[in-house]
Structure 1
Amino acid sequence: MKILIIEDDINLASTLARRLTKYGFNCEIAHNQSEALLSARRFLPATILLDMKLGNDNGLALIKPLRSLLTHAHIVLLTGFASIATAVEAMRLGANDYLTKPVDMATLLKALNQERDTAITLDVATTVMSPERLEWEHIQQVLHSNNGNVSSTARQLNMHRRTLQRKLQKKPVQH
């Protein structure tokens, strides 16, 4: 099965391609919107792994052009900044699946091997994030928007800088 990986992180894209190749997928990588559309036209993938943040661009903006170009393609949106609002927006625009990074290979393979003709049913128990995970995701998003500046992030979150530093030292909580 042909799969197009649209990911601006070169290392992650290469790792995904290597791992998916071991499972029998024929992979091609694109790192930005223009590469993605060119690759989609030329490669004609059955499945697309699309990162939500492509440098300064938003992967959500690519869903409609990809969907119109490849009407039967299975589009899986990957994001490190998960939220219910973006999940709903992605599905409304035409994505078939929405997965949060870091994604384990079993979950990714399940999404890729899912029957594309069947309706997607979301299991509430597995899609609702714990409050701790939601807090961690929000902190990461605000930290990213402040270009990694901990002091600015702490001020924006109305949190003491040392408290924020302690939270950042912890590993992310699983869903």
Structure 2
Amino acid sequence: MSDGGGDGDGDGQGQRRLLIIEDDAMFARTLARSFERRGYRVAAIAGPAELEAAVAALRPDHAVVDLRLGNASGLTCVERLHAIDPAMRIVVLTGFASIATAVEAVKLGATNYLSKPANSDDIEAAFEASGTGDASVELDAAPTSLRTLEWEHIHQTLADCGFNVSEAARRLGMHRRTLARKLGKRHL
């Protein structure tokens, strides 16, 4: 776990505390350094197994959670973090966004959801914007494409299976290799 100090008051009181849950070590380090420069006290972990110890040590009030953590789902981390502190601002990052996972993330306690690539400016803006909506956002007049609907159905099934590709393929009624090919085209 990386733990960076801030310009500090020792115990971190009054300082924003950020937990980064990201299995890409280089991206996690880069993000941690960027938030440390912004005055956050930061800890980074690679997955759910380290969550309880990190929360106990840091007592975060902000979290950035990657949706896919190796074979694990970041949604389990969102749910656990929200149970620990319902006021925590949690931003979910993903390289394969779908409506289904965005809805589930928010239901489980995420305050915002961003598609990768996202930088620290995007994430901090998402922390600040959480809890607010924009009723004037323009509605897309184009219907959702068949390809997008297929991807969302595949992704929802994957999420329901805990990202187990074999089980998702079985539930979708397709061969595992066919599903793996489709997932490969979406750059999972």
What TM-score do you get using the length of structure 1 for normalisation? 0.68
Give the structure 1 partner of residue 39 of structure 2.
24
What TM-score do you get using the length of structure 2 for normalisation? 0.64
Q: Distance in 2 between matches of 1:39 and 1:127?
A: 41
Report how far residue 113 of structure 1 moved.
Answer: 3.2
Residue 97 of structure 1 aligns with an amino acid whose one-letter code is N
Report how far residue 75 of structure 1 moved.
Answer: 0.8
Residue 16 of structure 1 aligns with an amino acid whose one-letter code is L
CA contact (8 A) 1:3 1:27 kept: yes
Q: What's the secondary structure of 1:98's corresponding residue?
A: strand
**What count of residue pairs does the alignment treat as equivalent?**
145
Deviant stretches of 4+, over 3 Å: 122-128, 152-157
CA contact (8 A) 2:31 2:119 kept: no
Could you list the runs of 5+ residues in structure 1 that have no partner in the other structure? 147-151, 158-163, 169-175
Q: What's the secondary structure of 1:102's corresponding residue?
A: coil
Give the structure 2 partner of residue 171 of structure 1.
none
Could you list the runs of 5+ residues in structure 2 that have no partner in the other structure? 1-15, 159-164, 167-176
1:121 aligns with 2:136: no
1:47 aligns with 2:62: yes
Query: Which residue, 83, 98, 119 being the options, matches 1:83?
Result: 98
Residue 62 of structure 1 aligns with an amino acid whose one-letter code is C
Q: What's the secondary structure of 2:44's corresponding residue?
A: strand
Q: Percent identity?
A: 32
Q: What's the secondary structure of 1:82's corresponding residue?
A: coil
Q: Distance in 2 between matches of 1:18 and 1:126?
A: 37
Give the structure 1 partner of residue 10 of structure 2.
none
Query: Which residue, 117, 120, 125 being the options, matches 1:110?
Result: 125
Query: Which residue, 78, 85, 106 being the options, matches 1:70?
Result: 85
